[in-house]
Amino acid sequence: MIREDFRQASLVPELLVSNLDASLSFWCGLIGFTVAYERSAERFTYLALDGAQVTLEEYGTDERHWITGDLTPPLGRGVNFQIDVPHLGQPLQSLKQAGWPLFMEAEENWYQTGDVEIGVRQFLVQDPDGYLLRLAAPLGQRQSV
């Protein structure tokens, strides 16, 4: 059943994973996503967090996977998924308590966007299959120098 408050985004990454249970422990238990809906028999779950959405599907369970090459870990090489969150505290604390390594420690960064800079506090972490997530909390904007 789909959550009543759920509305599908226009762009939703669909990630193939090696172990759906391990991935859900990471994405939901550590990062804070919730299940919008799932198809258990297909080992497929649709996740949401503060407007961000992603699907996870365990590969090897269906003939209908659209695999374009070898699934050699780490998966998702060359891409990082920016996930905007209000605060970094909860996911950072959960990851630390679980002993989960960060790919990049939390930092503050300001990005040039025309005549203003947009500030974020961010960190990077890899999920169990190596997909790279960049969680970013807004710091506001300021005039460029």
pLDDT tens figures, 29-68: 999 999 999 999 999 999 999 999 999 999 875 666 677 7
Whole-prediction pTM value?
Answer: 0.90
- Is residue 20 situated within a structural domain? yes
Prior bond of 74 cis (ω within 30°): yes
d(CA 11, CA 18): 23
Q: How many domains does the structure of the chain reveal?
A: 1
- Is residue 24 situated within a structural domain? yes
- Is residue 110 situated within a structural domain? yes
pLDDT tens figures, 93-116: 999 999 999 999 999 999 999 899
Give the range of the structural domain holding residue 39, as residue numbers without chain letter. Answer: 14-61+76-143
**Chain-centroid distance, C-alpha 125:** 9
pLDDT given for residue 144 in this prediction? 85
pLDDT tens figures, 120-134: 999 999 999 999 999
pLDDT given for residue 62 in this prediction? 60
Burial class (CB in 10 A: 0-12, 13-18, 19+), 85: buried
- Is residue 90 situated within a structural domain? yes
Mean pLDDT score of the chain, rounded to an integer? 92
Residue 97 belongs to a domain with what CATH number? 3.10.180.10
- Is residue 56 situated within a structural domain? yes
- Is residue 5 situated within a structural domain? no
pLDDT given for residue 9 in this prediction? 87
- Is residue 137 situated within a structural domain? yes
Among 24-28, 63-67, 69-73, whose mean pLDDT is lowest? Answer: 63-67
- The mean pLDDT of 66-89, rounded to a whole number, is 91
- Is residue 7 situated within a structural domain? no
